[in-house]
């Protein structure tokens, strides 16, 4: 009997090895291991053997069955995998067709994206972000910011005034800068303060380089012992975050009514080396100067502190810096937008390029 088992096993193994399809293997499974097959029958017959032979015969037959079973399982798994691979290999599509359904991703407007980028830089420097009203009073927009009564910006040719009852300092207007928030904030918050004010502002100007509405970000930091050098360091950090780590900063003396000293701030051009492109042409971005004018700033004028002295700001002990930058200008410089009008046309072909 043991010999017979060995014969069956040998024959079955040969046939299993030769089988190439899952179906053939199933047939072999029935043929060698099915209820009517010889090997199971031999196993059942073990009981009729003399007791001393039963042990070895049973073990041998059982091992043979298990071994064949495992062999068929393994071969079948291999076959199935091969068959699936073959089927999948035939099941191809054009993978270069576009995705569907189109999960459209929208776009932040370039002005918003730029505003957020700048906000995040100053948030990282510990500044809070505050917003304020766009319809303002003469008091906050001009008077408290040390504007001379004859300052041209007050004129009706420069500033939009609002119809209403307010007169003198209470007359209402569309804010011409985000600076009125300097006063509103200092009225509410005692020093030290560090904050920025993003927002929409309005000037009565419309030409190739001006739109009657545009966007600014005001910055204000007040404490004891704040210096012009601190302003330079802060704006250098800003410039490098926005325009690249290699940027340098240049301060040019200027005049603003609410800062003293006042400076205009230039950032070294990121498109050229000192005004000349790598090909040696005059850089079109900086007009060959090597510098890009990005914002106006200065040390808060003592008269501005005097306007809020009852709120804890003392012109003798408190110093601070303020700056105001145009979001449109930064976006135009950084992304090479040639014309302000693109920002307000809202042409999808423009909007989808950014944000």
Partner 1 sequence: MRVPIDWLSEYVEVDLTAVELSERLAMTGTEVARVLHHGPVSADNFVVGKVLSAEQHPDADRLRVCSVDTGDDEPRTIVCGAPNVAAGQTVSVALPGAVMPDGTKLGEAKLRGVKSSGMILAEDELGIGSEHDGIMVLTDELSAGTPLSEVFAVASEVLEPEVTPNRSDCGGLYGIAREVHAATGGALSAPPWADDPGAPTIGQMPAGIAVTVEDAVLCPRFTARVFENVTVGPSPIWVKARLAAAGQRSISNVVDITNYVMLVSGHPLHAFDLDQIAGAALTVRSARDGETLTTLDGEERVLDADICLIADADGPTSLAGVMGGSRSEVSDQTTRVLMEAAVWDGANINRTSTRLGLRSEASSRFEKGLPPEGALEAQAMATALMLELTGATLADGTLDVGGDGAGANVIRLRDARIVSLLGTPIERDRSQQILEALGFNVTAADDGLDVTVPHWRRDDVTREADLIEEVARINGLESLPPTLPLNRTGRAGGLSREQRLVRRAEDVLVGRGLSEIVGWSFTDPEVCDRLLLDDDHPLRALVVIENPMSSAQSVMRPSILPSLLDAAAYNLARGAEGCALFESGSVYRSGPGEDGMAANEHHGLGAIVTGPAREPSWADPQPPIARIETAHALVSAVLGALGIDWQVEQGELPFLHPGRTAMIRSEAGLLGWFGEVHPGVASSWEIAQPIAALAIDIGRAAAEAPRQTMFSDLTSFPPLREDLAVIVPAGVAAANVVACIIAAGSPLVNRAEVFDVYEGEQVGEGRVSLALHVDFAADDRTLSDEDVAPLREKIVAALKSELDGELRG
Residue with tokens 């700048």: 118
Q: What does 286 interact with, of partner 1, Zn ion, none (CB < 5 to 8 A by kind)?
A: Zn ion
CA distance 266 to 158: 25
**Footprint on residues 16-75 left by partner 1 (CB under 8 A):** none
* Residue 218 binds to partner 1 (criterion: CB under 8 A): no
Q: Which of 321, 313, 353 lies closest to 337 in space, CA to CA?
A: 353
Site string for Zn ion, 252-291 (x = CB under 5 A): -----------------x-xx----------x-xx-----
Give the nearest distance from C-beta 128 to partner 1 in angstroms: 5
Alpha carbon dihedral 168, 171, 176, 180, in 10-degree steps, equals: 80
Contact between 104 and partner 1 per CB under 8 A? yes
By CB under 8 A, is residue 134 in contact with partner 1?
yes
By CB under 8 A, name the one of 232, 276, 285, 312 that touches partner 1: 232
333 binds Zn ion, rule: CB under 5 A: no
CB of 311 to partner 1, least distance (A): 14
277 sits near partner 1 (criterion: CB under 8 A): no
Positive or negative, the Cα torsion across 315, 316, 320, 322?
A: positive
State the chain's maximal CA–CA distance in angstroms. 128
164 contributes a contact to partner 1 by CB under 8 A: yes
- Rounded to 5 degrees, φ, ψ at 97 are -65, 150
121: three-class secondary structure by DSSP: helix
Residue closer to partner 1, measured from CB, 23 or 162: 162
Q: Using CA atoms, how far apart are residues 273 and 291, in angstroms rounded to an integer? A: 10
- Dist. CA 305–CA 222, nearest whole Å: 10
Residues in binding contact with partner 1, number by CB under 8 A: 94
CB of 247 to partner 1, least distance (A): 11
**Residue 262 lies near partner 1 (rule: CB under 8 A):** yes
CB of 290 to Zn ion, least distance (A): 6
Provide the sign of the torsion angle of the four alpha carbons 273, 275, 276, 277, taken in this order: positive
Across 301-346, the runs of DSSP E, i.e. the strands, are 318-326
Rank residues 153 and 271 by Cβ distance to Zn ion and give the closer one.
271
Residues of this chain that interact with Zn ion (CB under 5 A) are: 269, 271-272, 283, 285-286
């Amino acid at each position: 009997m043991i010999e017979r088992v060995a014969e069956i096993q040998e024959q079955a193994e040969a046939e299993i090895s030769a089988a190439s399809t899952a179906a053939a293997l199933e047939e072999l499974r029935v043929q060698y291991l099915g209820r009517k097959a010889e090997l199971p029958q031999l196993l059942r017959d073990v009981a009729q053997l003399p007791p001393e032979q039963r042990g070895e015969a049973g073990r041998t037959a059982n091992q043979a069955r298990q071994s064949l079973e495992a062999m068929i399982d393994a071969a079948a798994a291999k076959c199935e995998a091969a068959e699936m691979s073959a089927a999948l290999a035939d099941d191809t599509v054009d993978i270069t067709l576009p995705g569907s359904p189109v999960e459209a991703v929208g776009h932040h407007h370039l002005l918003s994206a730029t505003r957020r980028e700048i906000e995040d830089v100053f948030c990282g420097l510990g500044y809070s972000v505050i917003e304020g009203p766009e319809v303002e009073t003469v008091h906050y927009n001009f008077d408290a910011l040390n504007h001379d009564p004859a300052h041209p910006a007050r004129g009706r040719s420069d500033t939009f005034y609002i119809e209403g009852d307010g007169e003198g300092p209470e007359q209402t207007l569309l804010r011409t800068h985000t600076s009125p928030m300097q006063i509103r904030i200092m009225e509410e918050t005692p020093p030290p303060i560090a904050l920025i004010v993003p927002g929409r502002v309005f000037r009565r100007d419309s030409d190739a380089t001006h739109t009657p509405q545009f966007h600014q970000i005001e910055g204000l930091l007040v404490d004891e012992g704040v210096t012009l050098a601190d302003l330079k360091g802060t704006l250098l950090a800003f410039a490098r975050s926005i325009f690249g780590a290699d940027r340098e900063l240049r301060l040019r003396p200027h005049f603003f009514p609410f800062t003293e000293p006042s400076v205009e701030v230039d950032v070294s051009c990121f498109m050229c080396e000192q005004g000349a492109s790598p090909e040696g042409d005059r850089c079109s971005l900086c007009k060959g100067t090597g510098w890009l004018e990005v914002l106006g700033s200065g040390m808060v004028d003592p008269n501005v502190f005097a306007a809020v002295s009852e709120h804890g700001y003392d012109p003798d002990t408190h110093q601070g810096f303020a700056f105001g930058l145009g979001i449109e200008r930064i976006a135009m410089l950084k992304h090479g937008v040639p014309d302000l009008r693109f920002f307000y046309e809202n042409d999808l072909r423009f909007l989808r390029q950014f944000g």
